[in-house]
Amino acid sequence: MSTKVITVATTDKVAKALSLMVKHKIGSVIVVDKGKPVGILTERDISTRAAKSQNLKSIALKTAMSKPLFTAPPSMDIEDAVAAMVKKDIRRIPILEEGKLIGIVTERDIMYWLVKVAYEPMLPEDLKSLLQSRTNAHALAR
């Protein structure tokens, strides 16, 4: 999982979320209400609204976010995380511990884990070092 999760308040505008997504080169932000995760704004949410010609920048996140938010504990097995993503047609799972947001598992995290586990012995050294730097940065959980 990635432990650096960017959050925005339900009262913030989509413009702020977009700015943060661009700045941090991420595909989503977690929307919180009084510190509690209640939704997520993703690239898919933005593109869907843009296709409907909605003026996104001025919309409050509480109306633009996807909800309800599917979350998981840090003890969730990676196989269960993948199954949940497929079943729910989602690409990210926020990880909560005792109600506190501690990370997020994304499709990219799963891909890095899969490549590392399944192909590590056969990987070229340059790809191994790249994966190692990514997994150090993302601390993939099992």
Interior angle at CA 136, CA 130 and CA 138, nearest 5:
100
Range of the domain at 121: 7-138
Closest CA to 114 of 136, 135, 84: 135
Answer yes or no: is 127 within a domain.
yes
Q: Total structural domains in the chain?
A: 1
* Length in residues, the chain: 142
% of the chain surpassing 90 pLDDT? 57
Residue 2 in any domain: the answer is no
Instruction: Read off the pLDDT of residues 45-89 as tens digits, 9 standing for 90 and up.
Output: 998 888 887 778 788 899 899 999 999 999 999 899 999 999 999
Residue 13 belongs to a domain = yes
Asked if residue 21 has pLDDT above 90, the reply is yes
Whether 108 maps to a domain, the answer reads: yes
Does residue 88 sit within a domain? yes
Residue 1 lies in a domain: no
What is the per-residue DSSP string for 38-87?
Answer: EEEEEHHHHHHHHHTT--GGGSBHHHHSB-SPP-B-TT--HHHHHHHHHH
Residue 54, domain CATH: 3.10.580.10
